[in-house]
Structure 1
Amino acid sequence: MSNSGAKVFFGSFAGDQQHQYMCILMRYLLHGEIKFIILSQSVDNRRQLHLYIGAMCKGGSCSYRVNKGSPAGSTRKIRSTASQGRMASDTARDLIILARARMQLKPPARPKLYSGLMPQEDLDPYRDLIPGLPEDLAKICLALVPRAHFPAMGAVSKRWMSFLESKELVAVRKEVGKLEEWVYVLVPDAGAKGSHWEILECSGQKQSPLPRMPGLTKAGFGVVVIGGKLFVIAGYAADHGKDCASDEVYQYDSCLNRWTVLAKMNVARCDFACAEVNGVIYVAGGFGPNGESLSSVEVYDPEQNKWTLIEGLRRPRWGCFGCSFEGKLYVMGGRSSFTIGNSRSVDVYNPNSHAWGQVKNGCVMVTAHAVLGKRLFCIEWKNQRSLAIFNPADDSWQKVPVPLTGSSSTRFSLVVHEDKLLLFPLEEEPGYQTLMYDPAAPMGSEWCTSKLKPTGSCLCSVTIKA
């Protein structure tokens, strides 16, 4: 090292220490207190640390060495002065990621005031996410941590907890390419009448149960995912031997692994349609508290934790489901009090005009559905061996046969995972393998099997990216 006056960090870190020491190193780099970093080859997140170092070296230079078991370990140098504007290509790619997140690479200047004259909030050691780092950079540091560690991180400080439970966390993780996609399934309890949610890890070899959901065990409820949060809405439960429609709403935060009770709905209901449209939740139709069919519609704003009634359906509708395309709410399937048998009409709500429209060409008695890309995939009650695919661009339908595995009467729950469609059986069958459909695969090879499999029959399934 030619710079004899430069300070050097030499060592390694792993496990729970990684992220803490990364932040410390970045702080030293920001203030120019070190110029050389020598790390062991065993560092797990060396590329991420290289990203941090590359960002901090803007306007100066530094190098770090990766030991490979001999004194002659390879040294990588980063030189990026303002006049040259050059750096290693991989560092440049890392800086592009950081630039997209609108990072400030230099700490904001603070006036040097006598501490007795400074506002109390400036003296608060928990005011900054990471003391000494710009806010944008600190948020990226936290967002780069694997999602499984977030519940423990939430106990560090109120500021960390506030960021980890905000929708900004998911936005930052998306910017830096760190979103993790997990599948959640609702399965029956062993030897009991209840049920519980569990996480299916991507390897398919392990299932992790979630904390118990509040309230009574319900059926006929709705589920919606917004950002990293799962909303379980209404339904009916047996209370003292009588089925009662519920107005309760629960939220599961997948980053903090905890449930929260939200504001109650204006109208208790079950067997209704629900979907997320433009960041808010719509519910429509269903059965009311006294078993009456409903045409009422209400919308939930997560920012305000408030339900608001809006213009209702043209006719009462139940057993239906909802989805969204191009900023509009689609309500289809189920039954209507104005039809004999099942309803084929599709009610379409435009939030911009606050008006309902209608499409005649719908499907009936859908037992499972999922939106993949710009198309809707359904399985109808009368035909469990065929996927009905709806294209909202031209309101057209097409059929795709489902390969026969197990009993021909097997019913499925659909969930999207990594741009593919998974079919989980609603009834547990020995030897059953999860079917997976890839609409982008070459003709004839769209179907295969997946390792992902619930511990029992699948009552409901969702995918959460966070």
Structure 2
Amino acid sequence: MSESCNSRHFSWLMKSCFPNPNHSASAAQPSTFNNSDCPYNSSAVAVAAAISSLPDDLLLECLTRVPSSSLPSLSLVCRRWSRLLLSPSFSLLRRRRGLLRHTLFALSATDSALFSATLRLHGSDSVSDSDSGSSLWTVSAFLPEDDDLWTFPSHARISSIGPRIFIVGRNATLRYDTWTGTVTAKSPMLLSRKKFAIAAVFGRIYVAGGGPRTTSVEEYDPEEDKWRVVATASRSRFGCIGASADGIFYVIGGLKLGASGNDLSRGTSAGAEAHVYASSMDLYDVESRAWLRSRTVPGGGCVVAACAAAGFIYVLASHAVELSFWRFDARRKSGGGGFGEWRRIRSPPLPAQVRVDSTVRFSCAGVGDKVVLIQVSGCIDDLLRRSGRSTRGLKEGLVLVYDTAAEEWNRAADLPEIIRRPACVCVEC
């Protein structure tokens, strides 16, 4: 890929900027058409060349108006265009114009391939229980270009920046480009972590938690492919969940560990404090590099899933035999003074036969103004067989969608069976 583009890259784009002599409107007025209107004359080429010399801010204004279907092709024109299309400024401009397209990705991996299932959520994508199926999901498999470089990260968490998904594990990091379908090895974290919190803020990735001796917060710069430690948390967490909203990195739930807590990553238990599932959130302000006052989910319980959507943090908590669903106002700059307020909202309507216990796991992702909840492990069939109840029509991969505007839950297409225990994330482009 070249560093900059040339006039040939613009030939298809420039055709739409000049009248077509074969168009009916042009044919109706032949006297107004001359050679200067031809898209292939020297004047058109000069205009095309001039576009390549535009400063970044003006070129961004042009690129943000391009249809989403053309973005993958434009990213291959030159390195400069690719850099601009992947920049936070591009996403911000697209969001302001209402052009961002949100797609849910569910990733599952084997030792030899990465499987991806995608789902676009429109008004018609939510279906009733009787209509649910996997037809709305699109499944793809990606094989490594070099088998010697393929090692899927263990205990991986995922986060997205624009069209790219970063798969971060204990000792390895992969970048999955959803536009090109390529998987590339990147720099691993500085510290080994397991079941940690991860989220993207302002075009960079932040991780925290993952063990009793891991209190450092790391930041990843995708442009430089470098990790660095940027803060130290006040407490250790294991099994925590990450989310981001309005410039804040939220570290939610997990096992609350003290200085003498277990080294759970090694499975030891000597000298441990009493372990309880934390129902609290730690808030790290990325711009000021400071920790804000921690918050606690009302009602306690075990936080089993969380995500950000439409300026709020949504938290699903388990209370042994039931679930509660909470909304935290994360809009610091809204001017309404509601930052930090909790509100309990309707819990997800799980099928009546499903038993809530510690074997059932959920993944939660914010997709635009919707919250998608997916049951990712704890086979419902096995649970029901042990209890002697009917298992017909129930399996892993149950998908529920919460519309934050209408405040309603809907059943969506079940996750395809080939996608097992996935990690879920929303991709914006």
Alignment TM-score > 0.5, same fold: yes
Selected match of 1:249 from 152, 165, 173: 173
Equivalent AA in structure 2 for residue 185 of structure 1: A
C-alpha deviation, 1:464, in angstroms: 0.7
User: Which residue number in structure 2 is paired with residue 272 of structure 1?
Assistant: 196
Q: Give the alignment of 1:87-166 within 5 angstroms.
A: 130-131=48-49, 133=51, 135=54, 146-148=67-69, 150-152=71-73, 154-158=75-79, 160-166=81-87
1:449 equivalenced with 2:383 (yes/no): no
C-alpha deviation, 1:337, in angstroms: 2.6
C-alpha deviation, 1:462, in angstroms: 0.9
User: Which residue number in structure 1 is paired with residue 404 of structure 2?
Assistant: 439
User: Which residue number in structure 2 is paired with residue 105 of structure 1?
Assistant: none
User: Which residue number in structure 2 is paired with residue 408 of structure 1?
Assistant: 355
State how far apart, in whole Å, the 1-side matches of 2:81 and 2:371 are. Answer: 35
User: Which residue number in structure 1 is paired with residue 158 of structure 2?
Assistant: 223
1:198 equivalenced with 2:132 (yes/no): no
Q: Deviations over 1:106-161 (max 9, x none)?
A: xxxxxxxxxxxxxxxxxxx9xx9943546478766665555455545555555555
C-alpha deviation, 1:176, in angstroms: 5.3
C-alpha deviation, 1:461, in angstroms: 0.9
CA contact (8 A) 1:187 1:454 kept: no
2:232 aligned counterpart, secondary structure: coil
The 1:186–1:314 alpha-carbon spacing in structure 2 relative to 1, beyond 3 Å, is same
C-alpha deviation, 1:426, in angstroms: 1.4
Selected match of 1:419 from 369, 374, 389: 369
State how far apart, in whole Å, the 1-side matches of 2:257 and 2:60 are. Answer: 52
CA contact (8 A) 2:197 2:209 kept: yes
CA contact (8 A) 2:206 2:220 kept: yes
State how far apart, in whole Å, the 1-side matches of 2:203 and 2:87 are. Answer: 14
The 1:278–1:137 alpha-carbon spacing in structure 2 relative to 1, beyond 3 Å, is closer
Aligned length: 342
State how far apart, in whole Å, the 1-side matches of 2:63 and 2:285 are. Answer: 38
State how far apart, in whole Å, the 2-side matches of 1:166 and 1:144 are. Answer: 15
User: Which residue number in structure 2 is paired with residue 232 of structure 1?
Assistant: 167
The 1:421–1:279 alpha-carbon spacing in structure 2 relative to 1, beyond 3 Å, is same
CA contact (8 A) 1:140 1:173 kept: no
1:311 aligned counterpart, secondary structure: strand
1:361 equivalenced with 2:296 (yes/no): yes
State how far apart, in whole Å, the 2-side matches of 1:394 and 1:165 are. Answer: 32
State how far apart, in whole Å, the 2-side matches of 1:439 and 1:384 are. Answer: 25
CA contact (8 A) 1:250 1:259 kept: yes
The 1:188–1:21 alpha-carbon spacing in structure 2 relative to 1, beyond 3 Å, is closer
Q: Deviations over 1:394-429 (max 9, x none)?
A: 353525322132522454322223412222221476
Selected match of 1:24 from 12, 15, 19: 15
2:366 aligned counterpart, secondary structure: strand
Selected match of 1:373 from 310, 315, 318: 310
1:271 aligned counterpart, secondary structure: coil
Q: Deviations over 1:301-350 (max 9, x none)?
A: 33433222133122322111222344233223112333622234432323
Selected match of 1:340 from 274, 278, 285: 274
Paired-residue identity, %? 25
Equivalent AA in structure 1 for residue 308 of structure 2: V
Equivalent AA in structure 2 for residue 24 of structure 1: K
State how far apart, in whole Å, the 1-side matches of 2:167 and 2:284 are. Answer: 22
Structure 2 length-normalised TM: 0.65
The 1:183–1:383 alpha-carbon spacing in structure 2 relative to 1, beyond 3 Å, is farther
1:131 aligned counterpart, secondary structure: helix
Equivalent AA in structure 2 for residue 224 of structure 1: S
CA contact (8 A) 2:137 2:416 kept: no
Q: Deviations over 1:241-294 (max 9, x none)?
A: xxxxx2x2222233333233333322121211222233332211213xxxx632
The structure with the larger Rg is 1
Equivalent AA in structure 1 for residue 115 of structure 2: H
CA contact (8 A) 1:365 1:381 kept: yes
State how far apart, in whole Å, the 2-side matches of 1:451 and 1:39 are. Answer: 44
User: Which residue number in structure 2 is paired with residue 319 of structure 1?
Assistant: 239
State how far apart, in whole Å, the 1-side matches of 2:180 and 2:253 are. Answer: 35
CA contact (8 A) 1:413 1:458 kept: no
Selected match of 1:388 from 293, 302, 325: 325
State how far apart, in whole Å, the 1-side matches of 2:13 and 2:361 are. Answer: 49
2:15 aligned counterpart, secondary structure: helix
State how far apart, in whole Å, the 1-side matches of 2:183 and 2:112 are. Answer: 21
State how far apart, in whole Å, the 1-side matches of 2:302 and 2:47 are. Answer: 50
1:401 aligned counterpart, secondary structure: coil
C-alpha deviation, 1:357, in angstroms: 4.4
Equivalent AA in structure 2 for residue 227 of structure 1: G
The 1:389–1:353 alpha-carbon spacing in structure 2 relative to 1, beyond 3 Å, is same
C-alpha deviation, 1:200, in angstroms: 2.7
User: Which residue number in structure 1 is paired with residue 214 of structure 2?
Assistant: 294
State how far apart, in whole Å, the 2-side matches of 1:377 and 1:169 are. Answer: 27
1:415 aligned counterpart, secondary structure: strand
1:216 aligned counterpart, secondary structure: coil
Equivalent AA in structure 1 for residue 354 of structure 2: S
The 1:390–1:437 alpha-carbon spacing in structure 2 relative to 1, beyond 3 Å, is closer
C-alpha deviation, 1:384, in angstroms: 7.6
CA contact (8 A) 1:415 1:462 kept: yes
Over aligned residue pairs, what C-alpha RMSD do you find? 4.0
C-alpha deviation, 1:373, in angstroms: 2.0
CA contact (8 A) 1:385 1:403 kept: no
2:107 aligned counterpart, secondary structure: strand
User: Which residue number in structure 2 is paired with residue 209 of structure 1?
Assistant: 140
CA contact (8 A) 1:165 1:255 kept: no
1:181 equivalenced with 2:102 (yes/no): yes
- Structure number with the bigger relative contact order (C-alpha 8 A, sep ≥ 6) is 2
The 1:193–1:403 alpha-carbon spacing in structure 2 relative to 1, beyond 3 Å, is farther
Structure 1 length-normalised TM: 0.61
Q: Deviations over 1:175-202 (max 9, x none)?
A: 654432211102366xx89752332355
